[in-house]
Structure 1
Amino acid sequence: MAARRRAGTASLIVAGLTVALAGCAGAGGGSSDGGAAAGGDASGDSAGGGGEVSVIMVNNPQMEDLQTLTEENFTAETGITVNFTVLPENDVRDSIATDFSAQAGQYDVATISNYEVPFFSSNGWLANLDSYVEEDAEFDQGDILEPIADGLRGEDGSLYAQPFYGESSFLMYRADVFEEAGLVMPENPTWDEVAALAEQADGVRPGMDGICLRGQSGWGQVFAPLTTVVNTFGGTWFDENFDAQVNSPEFVEATQFYVDLVTAHGEPGAANAGFTECLNAMTQGGVAMWYDATSAAGSLEADGSPVQGLMGYAPAPVKETDSSGWLYSWAWGVQESSTNKDAAWEFISWASSQEYEELVAEELGWARVPAGKRASTYENPEYQEAAAAFYEQTQQAITSADPLDPGVQPRPAPGIQFVAIPEFAGMATEVSLGVSAAIAGQTTVQEALDNGQQLAQEAGEANKE
């Protein structure tokens, strides 16, 4: 099957990425935005004389933990000042694409993903990390889970990013509520079974809805989970020749199912709900089920969580495929024009290390560890005990995900919840506006996808040989 990746021009990529207004396939998070520094003044040398590094990152919970731990640990040990800029995802993607495409050098390190790496590296925007990995035996590249590492390689096979955490997707549910209501979660649920359970669980407790699903517009908000539904319903964004299939019967059926499910048994205001809103709804007892990123389990099972110990976890629901979980990682990339590459690598090798995971465990608890990237994490008895409810399901979901073959037909480019072409971010975000409007009752699914077909075809034409 084809797995071709096309670099595209810098201007085309930036145009596509900057209209991707929201959300990723990953854990959405906290409310902080704007800049912050760890370890010293943004304009001064560090006390230890170790230099400085500027890091721009998404404001997910795992990154916010990193920000609180950096000064007293990394900076104290290395003398390297870390100047953090922490932004919501829609803003951070825009800022990174603009700075890296121009090679402006404002940021040395940025949180990117397995979506951006192929064409960022092909356009010369990312530093090749192979030599750093080879010279840093303590980092232990062999410990990185293969599916995660493979997604962070360029077309030349070299590493251009290192994962901070990795994830797939699964179904989370209130096991205690299911038991009280006499509901049984199948070992490998289908979407039809999930819909039936959502109907039965809806209202089983006062104010509790059956399921939470992202409805917020954005290629990585509503279309992160929805594209996995499309895949398992037999649909695809493009056929193997890059001809768009957005208004095909299978794509329409999957989207209609998703919209009907969330409008009938989902959270209030679903058209504006993303990862953070669903996390809050699940934590606060507002929903009985939630289909989303495996990384969410760390927050649900963290010390102090109202639902700690009350959750159950099942594989991503299916229909026509054997599995449907996505594969995603938030990772650290170094700008090629950076003059602080050595300091940047020191920061990355610490933030993505086993040592850092152990620090998080000591300071914040094992459930808060940014996992999903190292085999040693899943072999650690302490982690296994703290994450007993979800670690096996997470590891299985990550290792079984197949970005080259996520559906029932050949694909022209890799990707499960996205298509690895530069145009996808902007195109899918535009299409998502119609899907969110359908969830809000402002248009129909068919109208939204008919409009989306033309946008997708234009993106497909740009990628044809």
Structure 2
Amino acid sequence: MKLKASLALAFGLMAGMAHAATELVIATVNNGHMIEMQKLGKNFEAANPDIKLKWVTLEEGVLRQRVTTDIATKGGQFDVMTIGMYETPIWGKKGWLQELKTDAKYDADDILPAMRNGLSVDGKMYAAPFYGESSMLMYRKDLADKVGVTIPDRPTWAQVKDLAAKIHDPKNGVYGICLRGKPGWGDNMAFLSTLVNTHGGQWFDMGWKPQLESKPWKDAITYYVDLLKNYGPPGSSANSFNEILALYNEGKCGMWIDATIAASFISDPKQSKVADKVAFAQAPTMVTPKGANWLWAWALAVPSGSKKVDAAQKFVSWATSKEYIELVAKTNGWAAVPTGTRKSTYASAEFQKAARFAAAEKMAIDSANPNDSTLPKSPYVGVQFAAIPEFQAIGIAVGQQMSSALAGKTTVDAALKASQVAAEREMKKAGYYK
């Protein structure tokens, strides 16, 4: 009897260990699409009873910090990580991520090429897009009609300035244009990098020398400061996505160039007072269309340190599949699906009907190329960032200078000079050039 009991106990422990071995720890960001993924995770667990999902949900800044520390130290805390287009090529190249292996049913060719390229290194995909975005112009068509201005599908910055001047009416609480001013590499610098790109500029030349005092940078930043000073809301240097979204939904912004994901909020009558008055066009261009609109994806990746690669890959495939998008549509309606990832989403008649912005959003994503985003040749990958580890620190320092110039605390020339000094210091310290 004792032997039987010992064997039963041993088998029980082994079964327990086998069960414990398939708990997947998933690090993700606390936004709406990801919170929905957690709720729908029970469907994945039902189909895969040998896998349990454990969620670690964090604010964007904290998430970046935690996953970066974990992967750099090979901590192995997470089996699936939510990362972006900035981290993926850097970490993929370093061998920190598992290459994603997908089957025919997954249909990787259905993923929008811009998303696939931005999450790949040498043709191998290291993260799968959960949702993607570009940037575009969102404007009040009623105000444009009132002053007799027609906005084309691909406007220029000159046309934008002209319309901003005509519809700016601060006495009645309407500002001609709202744009990001809050400092941060992913805040004001995401927008300003695209403005610099379309003015013919770049972050670094082919010798990795920072270009912050070049003519395109001076032209772009001077234009931006003047535009917001004359036709923007007061306190623009403190505004980022959420602040402007609130202003727009209150009917206080005539125009806004920002993430395509905003379109679903400003056209939702539950959230926006001007839902029926908005129209969409491509991000404006200046000297060149290259890099005029950004490209970003929140994506799921499996760190190479994970001991549960097969289960983790299975989860990533599920959460970024056509079936998952259909599950969200069935549960919450087509207007709630994560967008910007698959051709099949945009081919859906139900999605097109639920999302008035669908065609403009897809056009913006399709036109963004992280491997060719500047007029002069650049050594880096990325549209609104350079995918090198040093960029975060440089982007933060430059973002603070640009915010100061916008607030009138310093001149554009002085801000760009200080930015150039900070960028050169970082790049020399990292050994990019002497």
- TM-score, with normalisation over the residues of structure 2? 0.89
CA distance in structure 2 between the aligned counterparts of 1:463 and 1:403, rounded to whole angstroms: 21
Q: Are residues 1:88 and 2:56 paired?
A: no
CA distance in structure 1 between the aligned counterparts of 2:56 and 2:226, rounded to whole angstroms: 39
Alignment correspondent of 1:421: 388
Cα shift readout 1:215-258 (whole Å, capped 9, x = no counterpart): 11111110111111001112211122212110112202211211
CA distance in structure 2 between the aligned counterparts of 1:183 and 1:116, rounded to whole angstroms: 41
Q: Are residues 1:453 and 2:423 paired?
A: no
Aligned equivalent of 1:107, options 78, 81, 90: 78
CA distance in structure 1 between the aligned counterparts of 2:170 and 2:348, rounded to whole angstroms: 38
Alignment correspondent of 1:320: 287
Aligned equivalent of 2:45, options 64, 72, 75: 75
Alignment correspondent of 1:214: 180
Amino acid at match of 1:61: G
Q: Are residues 1:372 and 2:349 paired?
A: no
Deviation at 1:191, TM superposition (A): 1.1
Contact 1:302 1:368 in 2 (8 A): no
Alignment correspondent of 1:164: 130
CA distance in structure 1 between the aligned counterparts of 2:34 and 2:228, rounded to whole angstroms: 30
Alignment correspondent of 1:301: 267
Alignment correspondent of 2:353: 385
Alignment correspondent of 1:339: 307
SS in 2 for 1:138: coil
CA distance in structure 1 between the aligned counterparts of 2:61 and 2:162, rounded to whole angstroms: 34
Go from structure 1 to structure 2 and tell me whether the alpha carbon gap of 1:268 and 1:93 turns closer, same or farther (over 3 Å shift). farther
**Identity percentage over the alignment?**
41
Deviation at 1:104, TM superposition (A): 0.7
CA distance in structure 2 between the aligned counterparts of 1:380 and 1:125, rounded to whole angstroms: 36
Alignment correspondent of 2:432: 463
Alignment correspondent of 2:33: 62
Deviation at 1:459, TM superposition (A): 4.2
Contact 2:129 2:320 in 1 (8 A): yes
Alignment correspondent of 1:144: 111
Cα shift readout 1:345-387 (whole Å, capped 9, x = no counterpart): 2221121111111122222222221111111111111112112
Go from structure 1 to structure 2 and tell me whether the alpha carbon gap of 1:406 and 1:227 turns closer, same or farther (over 3 Å shift). same
Deviation at 1:49, TM superposition (A): 8.5
CA distance in structure 2 between the aligned counterparts of 1:67 and 1:273, rounded to whole angstroms: 30
Deviation at 1:453, TM superposition (A): 0.5
Contact 1:238 1:460 in 2 (8 A): no
Contact 2:352 2:358 in 1 (8 A): yes
CA distance in structure 2 between the aligned counterparts of 1:204 and 1:268, rounded to whole angstroms: 10
CA distance in structure 2 between the aligned counterparts of 1:204 and 1:263, rounded to whole angstroms: 12
Amino acid at match of 2:57: V
SS in 1 for 2:404: helix
Q: How many residues align?
A: 413
Structure 1: gaps of 5 or more residues = 1-44
Q: Are residues 1:292 and 2:279 paired?
A: no
Q: For residues 133-282 of structure 1, what are the structure 2 equivalents within 5 Å? A: 133=102, 136-155=103-122, 157-203=123-169, 206-282=172-248
Go from structure 1 to structure 2 and tell me whether the alpha carbon gap of 1:351 and 1:463 turns closer, same or farther (over 3 Å shift). same
CA distance in structure 1 between the aligned counterparts of 2:167 and 2:409, rounded to whole angstroms: 27
Greater fraction helix? 2
Cα shift readout 1:280-339 (whole Å, capped 9, x = no counterpart): 222222212110111222223346232433321111101101351122211111111112
SS in 2 for 1:98: helix
Deviation at 1:263, TM superposition (A): 3.0
Go from structure 1 to structure 2 and tell me whether the alpha carbon gap of 1:68 and 1:304 turns closer, same or farther (over 3 Å shift). farther
Deviation at 1:435, TM superposition (A): 0.9
CA distance in structure 1 between the aligned counterparts of 2:132 and 2:238, rounded to whole angstroms: 25
- More divergent stretch after superposition (302-311 vs 99-108): 302-311
Structure 2: gaps of 5 or more residues = 1-15
Larger radius of gyration: 2
Contact 1:50 1:78 in 2 (8 A): no
CA distance in structure 2 between the aligned counterparts of 1:326 and 1:295, rounded to whole angstroms: 12
Alignment correspondent of 2:410: 443
Alignment correspondent of 2:373: 406
Contact 2:144 2:163 in 1 (8 A): no
